[in-house]
Amino acid sequence: MAQSTRHLHHLQTPERNKPLTVVEALPAKDGMTVDAPIQPRLAITSTFVPNAQTEAMSQANAILTLKNKVLSPALRWERRPRFVRDYVWPVDVSSPLSTALMTETAPPVPRPPQNELFNQLALSTIQSHPHLFKITTPININRFGSLLTSHPNRPLVDSVCTGLEFGFWPWATTNGSDGPEIVNNAVLQKIRNLDHLAFMRHQRDEEILLGRFSTPFQDLLPGMTTIPLWVVPKPHSDKLRLVVDQSAGEYSPNSFISPSDASVHLDTLHALGAALIRVRKQHGDVPLVLFKTDVSQAYRRLPMHPLWQIRQIVTIDDMNHVDRNNNFGNRGAGRLWVTFFGLVLWIAGFVVFIHDLFAYVDDAFSYEFADRMTFYGPYNKYMPTKQSRLLTLFDDLGIPHEEQKQVFGSPLTIIGFDVNPNSMTITMSPEARNDLIGTIRDFPTHHVANHLKTSSILPVGLIGH
């Protein structure tokens, strides 16, 4: 009997008080099953129009709803709405390759190239000033290596263990560089006000205390490159952030690193959604909670090789410091961290057996059955069992974390979206929607302003606005 697959989505328009429903019927293909209701269900919801009224908000709270159906093979994959990206799940609900599993085929992280190992200018400075160049990391390297003895990708494991012991090299190709003996890009650095200067000094003192900045020295030495620093406000906060700009100036560190070498694999909500659907199929409507576990100052926990440390000198109050550790401003920093953390997640999954664990940069996240709680001594409280076990693994490996950044609940915000594992929905919060709408509305203004700076032609339709 010929039947059809229906693809239902709701469009909210600013001119109407209720959503416009559009139904598209597609005939089933030969040999294809119809799109019968499948439990569990997963709904992806969002909106473009903020509204303070509860009724209006509920109407606007679904641009796309896949509430009672999972797409069947009859609906061609390319016909999914572009704005939902990967947040549509096919019938098989197969899991994408996770950060942990990526480590089984990833290439090893690099060591300094041959030309650097014979860089007498830099080597002489390093050897004559050993107090400036040190390897600093809290990671228990021996324990890390022992827990990875069964990992199938030995070249990667060995390279990361070597990096932890002797410092990492961030995929930089420096052969043939004609740079001067000393590159002083710190002259580009500007301090806007005394508050920024005080913050910069505070960060410097903390880094020195942790051993990640060297003690101060006056004169730059052969082979050194200085990095300009900036202070900027943190988004959605009244706090400040120190920016280490390794792209600014001539012969900047990032100019030696190809963007293609900086690409990383990050787990998304598509992976979590697939896992939740599988759990629902196996266990029905059992209550679930989500958790998110954060690593404290993640990138900074990895040491850099002395031959790279000499290329990331920072200057504060006319005094210089060697930055010894991985820095967010470096183009290869993210790949170094994700590679290391991927191995930690592999240990969690295949040695400690914490299943369906995913990560987005330094945030690991997953679900747990709501009745499975375990007391975690260091924080003196009960937490989801999988989260408690993960934090215990962090402690075993020497990975630092802070209590206020270890969260759990239902719903829970993960990668900017509110995920509810019990109603099986993923939504943008009203605050996030308002921020998005504000950005979209501001974009034409900024775009036009920039255009008028570079063009004497007035865009059509802008007169009087």
- Contact at 8 Å (CB) between 257 and 331? yes
**Residue that is last in its domain, among 22, 56, 84:** 84
pLDDT of residue 270: 87
48 and 108 co-located in one domain:
no
Whole-angstrom Cα Rg for the chain: 26
**Looking at the domain assignment, is residue 103 inside a domain?**
yes
**Looking at the domain assignment, is residue 457 inside a domain?**
no
119: closest CA among 244, 256, 247?
Answer: 256
- Contact at 8 Å (CB) between 311 and 225? yes
**Looking at the domain assignment, is residue 203 inside a domain?**
yes
123 and 57 co-located in one domain:
no
pLDDT of residue 370: 96
pLDDT of residue 93: 61
**Looking at the domain assignment, is residue 273 inside a domain?**
no
pLDDT of residue 233: 86
pLDDT of residue 21: 30
**Residue that is last in its domain, among 287, 322, 340:** 340
33 and 144 co-located in one domain:
no
pLDDT in tens, 4-21: 333 333 333 333 333 333
151 and 64 co-located in one domain:
no
76 and 184 co-located in one domain:
no
Asked, as a colleague might, if the bond just before 40 is cis with ω within 30 of 0, I would say yes
Which residue in the block uniquely carries the two structure tokens 């990967």? 86
68 and 138 co-located in one domain:
no
33 and 170 co-located in one domain:
no
65 and 115 co-located in one domain:
no
**Looking at the domain assignment, is residue 426 inside a domain?**
no
As to burial, measured by CB atoms within 10 angstroms (0-12 exposed, 13-18 middle, 19+ buried), residue 197 is middle
261 and 178 co-located in one domain:
yes
**Looking at the domain assignment, is residue 242 inside a domain?**
yes
**Residue ranges making up the domain that contains 178:** 99-265+296-340
**Residue that is last in its domain, among 340, 375, 392:** 340
Rounded-to-integer distance, Cα 1 and Cα 19, Å: 33
28 and 132 co-located in one domain:
no
- Contact at 8 Å (CB) between 287 and 371? yes
- Contact at 8 Å (CB) between 426 and 417? yes
Token pair for 263 = 């690409």
Rounded-to-integer distance, Cα 198 and Cα 60, Å: 46
56 and 127 co-located in one domain:
no
Q: How many domains does the chain have?
A: 2
**Looking at the domain assignment, is residue 315 inside a domain?**
yes
Q: Which long-range contacts (CB under 8 A, 24 or more apart) does 434-437 make?
A: 434/50, 437/48, 437/49, 437/50
126 and 205 co-located in one domain:
yes
Task: Name residues of the chain where pLDDT drops below 70.
Answer: 1-86, 90-95, 444-465
pTM metric for this prediction: 0.78
CATH number at residue 125: 3.10.10.10
**Looking at the domain assignment, is residue 386 inside a domain?**
no
pLDDT of residue 241: 87
Amino acid found at 92: D
